[in-house]
């Protein structure tokens, strides 16, 4: 079904948005790992709905229950299973969607994929709520990566046409990461926050939605991690990013702008730093060459589309009457998913990086 990821840090997600529970099974956590449960709870709260008027008013605390693989505060080395019980469902909000698929949503494609047996309530397994288990697995991965001196940071690069500046290497400190984790709209230029808030609330008032972009950086990666071709660092990161609902694009380093450069401009010229380590003056390739880390920060951006569930009247089809029809989506939905998606994207990144590091360890890298 495609709900599994990883070769060494292996995850398998399950559940539906309005089902009894959703959760994850994780293999590959070293035995004896002491989990920072408070940190995991904080990460889960970053993704949870109901934190501000910029998000859906649905209230889910995302309180998790660890069912196996964890005892006396430490992992056992066997599979770790976790569930989150759903509490605030209003499944009647979706009765109309069963016969009128939402434009831009997975209703129609999902109905065809599962011959009409898919759970339509709250978007079922296609819901962004299913990313909560990813945040749980990513929080554990972040903890393990931090012990190796690897930090993962992200900020909102844009909301609609309002843009923040790009990361600079000096931005990525634990102090700044802790600060951004507490912000509803984590940006580098805080002067643009009021305008972003206004734009999101205006979309909400108009029964519409908007998208944006997020920039992610990984600091502390040594060179030589990854593979060429089919299991490259880029392809694995892209694969998990496109597994997050609403992600529609990804670009590494200079991204599409690199196509406008000459070879001389695009090439990242190299030097030895004061520690005797090889670095480059620029990072147009996003810290990755040939699918393998080169010692510079891994840097990429993702594009997030506007949420499909909007209150505006839209053209669709009626599967009962087999005629063209209209739909006005009711219920509780995010006018912009970008603020809540940041922690999900960080978590997904951490899952890939840890999986790749464990793979490299097999070859004594």
Residue 203, phi then psi, degrees to nearest 5: -60, -40
49 assigned to a ligand binding site: no
Neighbouring CB atoms inside 10 A of 146's CB total 17
126 assigned to a ligand binding site: yes
Measured between alpha carbons, how far is 358 from 222 in angstroms, rounded to an integer? 13
Q: In sequence order, which residues have a C-beta less than 8 Å from that of residue 185 and are 6 or more positions away?
A: 54, 156, 159, 193, 196, 197, 339
For residue 349, the number of C-alpha atoms closer than 13 Å in the C-beta half-sphere is 27
129 assigned to a ligand binding site: no
127 assigned to a ligand binding site: yes
Of residues 151, 270, 280, the one with CA closest to residue 216: 151
105 assigned to a ligand binding site: no
90 assigned to a ligand binding site: no
290 assigned to a ligand binding site: yes
332 assigned to a ligand binding site: yes
Token readout for 11 is: 């995850």
47 assigned to a ligand binding site: yes
The runs of H, that is alpha helices, within the chain are 37-47, 107-113, 132-146, 174-181, 193-205, 233-241, 263-266, 338-361
Q: Are 317 and 101 in contact (CB under 8 A)?
A: yes
Residue reference for tokens 């909000």: 93
Residues annotated in a binding site for NADP(+): 47
Residues annotated in a binding site: 47, 125-127, 290, 305-309, 332
Residues annotated in a binding site for FMN: 125-127, 290, 305-309, 332
């Amino acid at each position: 079904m495609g709900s599994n990821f990883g070769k060494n840090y292996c995850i398998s997600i399950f559940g539906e948005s309005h089902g009894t529970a959703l959760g994850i099974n994780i293999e590959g956590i070293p035995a004896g790992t002491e989990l920072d449960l408070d940190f995991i709870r904080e990460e889960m709260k970053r993704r949870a709905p109901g934190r501000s008027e910029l998000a859906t008013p649905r209230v889910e605390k995302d309180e998790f229950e660890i069912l196996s693989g964890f005892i006396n505060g430490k992992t056992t080395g066997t599979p770790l299973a976790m569930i989150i019980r759903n509490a605030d469902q209003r499944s009647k909000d979706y009765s109309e969607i069963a016969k009128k698929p939402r434009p831009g949503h997975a209703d129609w494609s999902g109905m065809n994929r599962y011959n009409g047996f898919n759970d339509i309530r709250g978007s079922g397994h296609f819901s962004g709520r299913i990313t909560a288990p990813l945040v749980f697995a990513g929080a554990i991965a972040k903890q393990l990566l931090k012990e190796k001196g690897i930090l993962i940071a992200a900020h909102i690069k844009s909301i609609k046409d309002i843009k923040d500046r790009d990361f600079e290497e000096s931005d990525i400190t634990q102090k700044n990461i802790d600060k951004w984790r507490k912000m509803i709209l984590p940006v580098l230029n805080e002067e643009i926050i009021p305008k972003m808030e206004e734009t999101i609330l205006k979309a909400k008032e108009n029964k519409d939605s908007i998208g944006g972009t997020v920039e992610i950086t990984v600091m502390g990666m040594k060179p030589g991690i990854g593979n060429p071709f089919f299991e490259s660092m880029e392809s694995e990161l892209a694969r998990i990013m496109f597994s997050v609902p609403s992600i529609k694009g990804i670009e590494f380093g200079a991204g599409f702008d690199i196509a406008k450069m000459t070879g001389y401009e695009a090439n990242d010229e190299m030097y030895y730093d004061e520690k005797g380590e090889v670095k480059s003056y620029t990072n147009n390739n996003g810290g990755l060459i040939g699918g393998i880390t080169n010692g510079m920060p891994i840097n990429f951006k993702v594009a997030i589309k506007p949420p499909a569930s909007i209150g505006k009247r839209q053209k669709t089809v009626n599967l009962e009457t087999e005629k063209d029809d209209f739909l006005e989506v009711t219920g509780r939905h995010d006018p912009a998913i970008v603020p809540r998606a940041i922690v999900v994207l960080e978590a997904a990144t951490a899952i890939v990086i840890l999986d790749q590091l464990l793979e490299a360890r097999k070859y004594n890298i």
